[in-house]
């Protein structure tokens, strides 16, 4: 957890490839001027968030999200949140989406990256009767919201579990 004055001295690398300079802190602070985005959260959430980002951009998925998608979502966003909603059994996806709705009110989303994980070895990893909860929810977001999504297998999940990872930027500070 660096001192904000020290962060202001850091300069992100420059080059031909897209670059992203994210700051994750356990204490409230303004977004450093040279950073693309800031996340303030407890240390355990920061660790989970780093793991989630790496799993999303490094895995080859059924419908993949790559670094460019992450870059487009977080660059120049000022603040971001990562929510990991993991639920089991029938209605798991519905409960995961409800958890995301609580984190940032619908009318505040600017950019949203969603990654859905399930264990493909499960007899029914996601119930067909509840898959409509995702388009139902995203259709309530403002028209200018940039939404990117992907789907991947996670064999470490119990057979009746879904995990929905949302990386979001909001026009107002989200609830912590």
Question: pLDDT value at position 14?
Answer: 60
State the first-to-last Cα distance of the chain, in angstroms, to the nearest integer.
18
Return mean pLDDT, the chain: 82
Taking every pair of C-alpha atoms in the chain, what is the biggest distance, in angstroms? 53
Digit-coded pLDDT (tens) for 118-138 = 888 776 667 777 888 988 888
Question: pLDDT value at position 84?
Answer: 92
Q: What is the pTM of this model?
A: 0.80
Q: How far apart are CA 95 and CA 92, in angstroms?
A: 5
Question: pLDDT value at position 118?
Answer: 87
Number of C-alpha atoms within 13 angstroms, CB side, residue 172? 7
Tokens of 60: 């080859």
Digit-coded pLDDT (tens) for 23-70 = 899 998 888 878 888 899 999 999 999 999 988 888 777 788 888 899
Report residue 51 CA to chain centroid gap: 11
Between residues 106 and 93, the one the model is more confident about: 93
Segment 141-147 shows an average pLDDT of 88
- The burial of 78, by beta-carbon neighbours within 10 Å (0-12 exposed, 13-18 middle, 19 or more buried), is given as middle
Q: How far apart are CA 78 and CA 112, in angstroms?
A: 14
pLDDT exceeds 70 at position 17: no
Between residues 3 and 151, the one the model is more confident about: 151
pLDDT exceeds 70 at position 152: yes
């Amino acid at each position: 957890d660096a001192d904000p004055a020290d962060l202001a001295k850091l300069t992100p690398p420059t080059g031909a490839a897209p670059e992203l300079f994210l700051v994750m802190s356990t204490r409230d602070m303004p977004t450093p001027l040279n950073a693309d985005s800031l996340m303030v959260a407890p240390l355990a959430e920061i660790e989970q968030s780093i793991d989630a980002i790496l799993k999303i951009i490094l895995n080859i998925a059924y419908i993949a999200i790559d670094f460019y998608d992450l870059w487009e979502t977080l660059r120049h966003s000022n603040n971001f949140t990562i929510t990991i909603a993991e639920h089991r059994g029938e209605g798991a996806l519905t409960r995961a989406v409800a958890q995301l709705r609580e984190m940032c009110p619908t009318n505040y989303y600017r950019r949203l990256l969603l990654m859905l994980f399930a264990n493909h070895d499960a007899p029914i990893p996601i119930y067909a009767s509840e898959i409509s909860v995702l388009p139902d929810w995203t259709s309530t977001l403002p028209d200018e919201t940039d939404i990117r999504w992907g789907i991947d297998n996670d064999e470490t999940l119990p057979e009746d579990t879904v995990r929905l990872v949302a990386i979001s930027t909001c026009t107002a500070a989200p609830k912590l």
